[in-house]
Amino acid sequence: MPSSRDGKPETGKLHVGIIMDGNGRWAARRGLPRTAGHEAGIEALRRMVQAASGLGIGTLTVHAFSADNWKRPQAEVLALMDLFRRYLDSETEQLVRDGVKLSIVGRRDRLSAELIGEIERSEAATEWGDDVHLRVCVDYSAREAILAAAKTVQGELTRESLEAVLGNGTPPVDLLIRTSGEQRLSDFLLWECAYAELYFTPKLWPDFAEADLAEAIADFRRRERRFGSLTAANAA
């Protein structure tokens, strides 16, 4: 059983981060446009949100659109933004019914006014959700987030003061999952994942099912987390 930072077994809900990778390859293998892969990826996200609470997840943070993704072809970027807007429009009521609080993490100054308005409406509508906290990272860079947090710290810059601004009350990541077989963090939650357990799977994101999420969590629970210390067995 995993241990918490004080060496005691963990009993609380988990913070799981997911790098949702492989939409384009999923579509290419089927002779479909990349946008079809992104739409299938939205369906996978729905499955994960619905399964989260039952699997002991209290916070689910997903990497949807990185700051570097602006470099992609404009047509794909516009399609992604429209897909995101439609997701907010169609899913907010269900999130409210399911007790899911939605937060969008990342810059907003490069998003359209229409999309920002949709984000604000969805966040306000789900504000009191207390079952699962769904955090969707859009126009997000962990390095930029750390830099911005450091600039806002009042007084002495310490690990604790920086974490208070950067985390904003969100617990550190316990388990980070990346789909599609790639094995890198890609500027995602670098601070929050300092002691996260990493789980890589060859499954492409649109194919990732509830059973796959359950297996990743089962694998996590079989690991021993020491946070730099020793267990009683290792210290003997």
Q: Which residues are catalytic?
A: 21, 69
**C-alpha gyration radius of the chain:** 18
CA distances from 18 to 4, 54, 60, 99, 166 (A): 21, 17, 8, 20, 19
Q: Are 156 and 124 in contact (CB under 8 A)?
A: no
Closest CA to 190 of 159, 144, 156, 152: 144
Closest CA to 141 of 95, 187, 182: 187
How far apart CA 64 and CA 172 sit, in angstroms, is: 19
Q: Collapsing DSSP states into helix, strand and coil, what is residue 98? A: coil
Which residues, including other chains, have CB under 8 Å from residue 79's CB and lie 6 or more apart?
35, 38
Q: Are 70 and 81 in contact (CB under 8 A)?
A: no
